[in-house]
Chains A and B, each alone.
Chain A
Amino acid sequence: MKVAFPYMGTTVIYKKLIELLGHDVVEPPEPTQRTIELGVKYSPEFACFPLKVVLGSYIEAVELGATTIVTSGGHGPCRAGFYGETHKKILRNLGYDVDIIVFDDYKSDKTGTIKKVRRLKNGKSWFYLWKSLKTVYSMAKSLDNIEKRIEKMRAYEVNRGECTKAWQTIKTWFDEVENIEDVRKTEGKSNKLLGEIKLIEVPEPNKIKIGIVGEIYVVMEQSINLRIEEMLGGLGAEVERSQYLSKWIDFNLLPKGIGKEHELNILKKGEKYIQEIIGGHAKQTVGHIVDYAERGFDGVVHLMPFACLPELVSQSIIPAISKEHNIPVITLSIDEQTGAANTLTRMEAFMDLIKSIKRTKIA
């Protein structure tokens, strides 16, 4: 079984799990212009951008020989919950012989989920599976910690691009780990590498912190969001995302009562503005904006796929939140356009706005 997965964020983590279970991994290439073109060509025109890019990346994986694709399903009323099925159908119509295993919310279909796990388990013992999951989970935690550090450092690097380069190196190191012990060692080695990067000293009150919120795919996948983190870092802002893989695992995959406090807390903060889960990450989006305001961030960038319904709802509530919590928010809608010039103009202006607010606050 040659297994592939959707490309989103730090993919070395999914790759590792499939590898530990003894499958051949076909890693889809990071989305490029070609991926987007393929996805756009074969997707329904009005489907949202993540569906298109993921489809393109599946096609590229199949071209590389993948026979099975493993993905998570969505839940809630947003159409993302139906992506797995839509992708299956499109790929079948295109004549690709590929199997898609979709992991939906396990609580709603326990036996189905167990069946799927058995297939992927590849004859390994349940104990071995448990051990592998633990390794991969610790890897996700550790990579997220490192990435968070990089997202702060990038604003102050002396040689532009050095942090991003280190991040690429670190991911290849993590590709080699086999157990929790390795993860620990690699994390140490990575932090040492980061420690060697030369940074400009900036006094605490002058630091600019920007939160990035919105739909999970456009927030996490840098290749399609115009590398917004690197862009903001280059303009001198520390960034933090609303979405990290380890947090997603905590909330969606761990059993009840473990590791969910953070996300529940965020949802509570958004309660005032959006009461119901309306799909996607709309409720998290508003919650995170409130959270960033409370934590003293200077601004928030809200990313949404063009015409994403849940995020359109949050977009229309944002002016009220922004006013009430005194935090500037800018919304960017992400689509096929890859030209970064427009976005750069907006981000530069956004930084000017933040800096002038900061100046009057200090004065």
Chain B
Amino acid sequence: MKKVFAGIDVGSVSTNVVVIDVEGNILSVQYLRTNGQPIEAAREGLRNLYNEFNTKIQIIGIGTTGSGRQLTGIMVGADVIKNEITAHATGTITHVPGTRTIFEIGGQDSKIIFLKDGMVTDFAMNTVCAAGTGSFLEHQSERLGIPIEQFGDMALTAEKNVRIAGRCTVFAESDMIAKQQYGFSKAEIINGLCEALVRNYINNLGRGKKLEPPYVFQGGVAANKGIVAAFERELGHEVIVPPNYNVMGAVGAAILAKEHIERTGKATSFRGFECTDLEFTPSSFICGGCDNSCEVIKVQMDGKIMAMWGDRCGKWTNSIG
């Protein structure tokens, strides 16, 4: 039985499960759609893993990250529950040593991470709106009737440059329609969109900070060659898209679990593959204890309360022994 570490990244659009061995080599990668059901997606990932390896592997450490990290972490019994910035940075720096700047564009959010000597020195995440993320591109691909998978290749065939306003998605859309009326081809419009997205991203997240190479581009949107090319044009420098670019968060979570177990020498708190069969119900209620009216999240497993959070005073959080 091979000893391995697992990482789960539960994001808004995709849920990824990665398994690495004790040397850090990636053994298995799963990229699943979250479809608004993070728990179900994580379960499916673990089940697939079990079907793939059965008893050939033994998970001796597991980490979760992404927006659903807390809930999933409780379900699987994670050893490490980490924010996605740290997880992504850890994954990338292990696989592309020397990285100075990470561009990460996912379905609903985007981030930029600055590193020096393998350490995060600064980072930023998009706020307020989802302009410049995968959802925006997906929406436009529907509008143009071109599958998102072909978007990138099509952008590369553009012959002329079209400038599309990228400050805000709504403006970009009306600008795009106007440019269509001018007679630009679909390829040129798509290329213009890619450039708008990159400009928007660098303005919003870079904010006057110095972007130092080597650059690494990851997240689901990195599959789009048009965006990669637009980044390279904007920066005047090569941009690396690592293998497994779309599951770097999960890779990082697995590495963090590995480091944690190696450092502490503890046994994993992983509940085993059986956890996918446990009845697991998160629910929430408004606490009426005071005027704060906190929304408290309660997680039950087979009828037993496993965790509670969301209360400002700690009344519920502390009630779990």
Spell out A's residues near B (CB within 8 Å): 29-30, 32-33, 159-162, 164-165, 227, 230, 306, 315-316, 319-320, 322, 328, 332-333, 335, 337, 341-342, 345-346, 348-349, 352-353, 356-357, 360
Contacts and interface: CB of A to CB of B under 8 A. Distances in A.
A356 B127 contact: no
Contact of B312 (A33, A227, A319, A335): A227
A332, A345, A357 — most chain B CB neighbours (10 Å): A345
A349 B209 contact: no
Contacts of A335: 128
A159, A161, A335 — most chain B CB neighbours (10 Å): A161
B271 interface: no
Given A328-B122, A356-B120, A161 B291 contact: no
A160 B311 CA distance: 11
B85 A349 contact: yes
Interface string B101-127: 000000000000000000111110101
Nearest to A307: B128
B86 interface: yes
Interface stretch (B2-10, B50-58, B313-321): B313-321
Interface string B205-224: 00111000000000000000
Contacts of A315: 207
B284 to A, nearest CB: 13
Given A164-B313, A332-B127, A349-B84, 15 more contacts: A30-B291, A160-B317, A161-B318, A164-B314, A227-B312, A319-B209, A320-B208, A328-B121, A335-B128, A337-B128, A345-B85, A346-B125, A352-B83, A352-B86, A353-B123
Contacts of A160: 314, 317-318
B314 A352 contact: no
Contacts of B209: 319
B293 interface: yes
Nearest to A320: B208
A294 B86 CA distance: 27
B67 interface: yes
Contacts of A349: 83-86, 120, 123
A162 B119 CA distance: 35
Contact of B119 (A164, A322, A332, A356): A356
Contacts, number: 76
B318 A159 contact: yes
Contacts of A353: 119-123
A263 B304 CA distance: 54
A242 to B, nearest CB: 21
Given A349-B123, A353-B120, A356-B120, A316 B312 contact: no
The 7 closest A-B pairs by CB, nearest first: A161-B314, A349-B85, A348-B83, A160-B314, A352-B86, A349-B83, A345-B83
B128 A333 contact: yes
A236 to B, nearest CB: 15
B293 A333 contact: no
Given A160-B317, A316-B207, A356-B119, A29 B291 contact: yes
A165 B293 contact: no
B312 A165 contact: no
B38 to A, nearest CB: 13
A316 B209 CA distance: 9
A335 B293 CA distance: 19
11 contacts: A29-B291, A32-B291, A32-B293, A33-B293, A227-B312, A333-B127, A346-B83, A346-B85, A348-B83, A349-B83, A349-B120
Interface string B71-111: 00000000000111110000000000000000000000000
Contacts of B67: 341, 345
Contacts of B313: 161, 164-165
Contacts of A333: 127-128
A161 B314 CA distance: 5
